[in-house]
Amino acid sequence: MERLFWIADATYTEKPHARQVASTGLFHRTKKVAGRAKHLPGHCYVFAALMYETVTAAGKRWASVLVGALLYVKGRSIPKLVGQLAGHLRLPEGVRHVGVEDRGLISRPLLRAVGSLGQFVLGRVRCNQVVYFAPLRQSARRRRPKLFGQKCRVDKLLTRFPQRLRPQKMRLQVRGKERTVNVFDSQVLLRGVWSGRACPARVIVVVIPGLKLKPWYLITTDLTLDPGEVVRVYDGRYQIEVNFDEAKELGLGHYQGRSGQGVRRWPLFLSFAQMILKFIATGFISVSLPELNWPWYTKENTVGQVRRRLIELGRPPISRAKTIPAT
């Protein structure tokens, strides 16, 4: 069955003047800005992006395009907003939809919300995440059968239960160089997601030999997905950060309205604009644009460069003596 991979993540925009909107608050500034406080007064948005593969000279690479957004509201956690956004997208049936999440979003409310929609989750978990194995063969006289067997933290699996892990090797781009990594996987159970029953999942441990990097602990509820494919897909999750930079260049943090309706609709408009620019950059939509021919930036088919080329197309000519071909 075909699969579609979706990315969900949250970003912040500085809006110190929109005090009439209930979601304006103080958030921790992720990047240090000289001359500004550690806290960021503004809004938090939860975005969703579709992942797709592109063929380049270096091989296949993951890319993504924004498809929707929700405004963070006090009293609702970000994992719950991700599940609500997945329901708003109205994804097509007959396809396995897998959401790729970061370490701070994988939680029981997210697994419960996405699982009720018939979708799956893939993401990184913390090192103290507790997983359970299936119970051993039980006696038929036992009134209440056990749902869970032995439990273990994911960072202790390699030392306590090496016999339960299936090892394999794969090539992965790490720190700008293609390296051989060790991948271990095992089927486990998660507790507390559903009342009275376990949530089956697959845990993947990625160890990078030769570098002083801590292992990756990945988990997915799609048991039919190959562990090597899980690692490759999660490696492309950072593409949504590129989408965030493109949306902020389009004016995500420069909306001057103070109404809640306008603040909620503004990221949807920017997602649509970023999608159209992505279609033009990839050639899905054919538009004849002038070439900028910058010596310091030779790429002409990026979202930012297409935006500048559109501005150059709409800019009126300075001299009227020279004939300009019709576009």
CB–CB of 16/42 below 8 Å? yes
Percent pLDDT > 90 in the chain is 54
Of residues 190, 78, 172, 218, the one with CA closest to residue 134: 190
* Rounded Cα gap, residues 275 and 296, in angstroms: 26
pLDDT at 199: 94
CA 262 to chain centre: 25
User: 25, exposed or middle or buried, with CB in 10 Å at 0-12, 13-18, 19+?
Assistant: middle
Q: Which amino acid, 33?
A: V
| E-state strands within the chain | 3-14, 25-28, 39-56, 59-71, 96-101, 120-124, 130-132, 151-153, 166-174, 177-194, 197-207, 216-220
pLDDT at 75: 78
pLDDT at 245: 92
pLDDT digit string, tens, across residues 258-303 = 778 888 899 999 999 999 999 999 888 998 898 888 888 888 888 9
Of residues 87, 89, 122, 86, the one with CA closest to residue 106: 122
- SS3 readout for 262-319: HHHHHHHHHHHHHHHHHHHHHCCCCCCCCCCCECCECCCCCHHHHHHHHHHHHCCCCC
pLDDT digit string, tens, across residues 136-152 = 876 667 667 788 889 99
CB–CB of 99/67 below 8 Å? no
pLDDT digit string, tens, across residues 24-66 = 778 888 778 888 888 888 888 999 999 998 877 767 889 999 9
pTM value? Answer: 0.87
pLDDT of 256 higher than 90: no
pLDDT of 183 higher than 70: yes
